[in-house]
Amino acid sequence: MAEISMRNEAEEVRHSVGLRSIAADLSSDQRAFKNVSWGKAMMWIFLLSDTFVFSCFLISYMTARMSTTVPWPNPSEVFSLEVGGTTFPLLLIAIMTFVLISSSGTMAMAVNFAYRRKRTTTAVLMLVTAALGATFVGMQAFEWTKLIHEGVRPWENPWGAAQFGSSFFMITGFHGTHVTFGVIFLIAIARKVWRGDYETGRRGFFTSRKGNYESVEIMGLYWHFVDLVWVFIFAFFYLW
């Protein structure tokens, strides 16, 4: 019995020492998984939580659409655009999707040039990405204005089920907010790259940390996530 008690005590000591060492590592601002920085790990955690939010929105939309007894508006008619007297279904949405997907390409190139220390090229590509994102938001604002002018509200719409308006404004508005914040941070980081802050170790204006070119990659993770979410919104909301 004495030997068993001594073994148990030894195991408890090893367990407590192990927990203390883990807590010490996590609180000492070291890399979370040795090869992954805190910034990148926290961005992945944020994107995971945001995935749950967008998933809940899309599941709620599908539930509302399948459960309503009132006819659901036809997206090809609601989101059509008249050009030169000819009506094109989903024309504006197709252009918006092309613009946002193209911005993923420029963002990927920006990350590539950032790790090659091509400062000017990186900054230009990030600004191009921001311009494409701002164009997307501008077209989304045009789409909102058009539908509001036609009588769509969060509580009603002239083409059928009232849930259409609330689902549309909630999902596209939440995504548009993400794109808007992304554009702001793209411009901020591009400015730091352009000035050479990551070479000189100049401290930033958001935090007191000096930062490095990994910030471009972290921004890229966020931007690619925003683009990927739009693919699901496009498929579920506009094509279904």
In this predicted structure, the answer to whether residue 125 has a pLDDT above a threshold of 50 is yes
11 or 40, which is more confident: 40
In this predicted structure, the answer to whether residue 6 has a pLDDT above a threshold of 60 is no
In this predicted structure, the answer to whether residue 58 has a pLDDT above a threshold of 50 is yes
Tell me if the pTM is above 0.75: yes
Question: Quick check: 90 and 98 in contact, CB under 8 A?
Answer: no
Confidence (pLDDT) at 13: 46
SS (H, E, C) the chain: CHHHHHHHHHHHHHHHHHHHHHHHHHHCCCCCCCCCCHHHHHHHHHHHHHHHHHHHHHHHHHHHHHHCCCCCCCHHHHCCEEECCEEECCHHHHHHHHHHHHHHHHHHHHHHHHHCCCHHHHHHHHHHHHHHHHHHHHHHHHHHHHHHHCCCECCECCCCCCHHHHHHHHHHHHHHHHHHHHHHHHHHHHHHHHHCHHHHCCCCCCCCCCCCCHHHHHHHHHHHHHHHHHHHHHHHHHCC
Name the percent of the chain lying above pLDDT 70: 80
Confidence (pLDDT) at 28: 53
Chain centroid to CA 109: how far? 18
**Cα torsion angle, 148, 151, 156, 159, sign:** negative
Query: Cα separation of 165 and 171, whole Å?
Result: 10
132 or 28, which is more confident: 132
Fold (topology level) of 33-238: Four Helix Bundle (Hemerythrin (Met), subunit A) (1.20.120)
Task: Please state the rounded mean pLDDT for residues 210-225.
Answer: 86
Across all residues in the chain, what is the average pLDDT?
Answer: 83
Take residue 135 and report the two structure tokens written for it.
């164009």
Count of C-beta atoms within a 10 Å radius of residue 38: 13
Confidence (pLDDT) at 213: 79
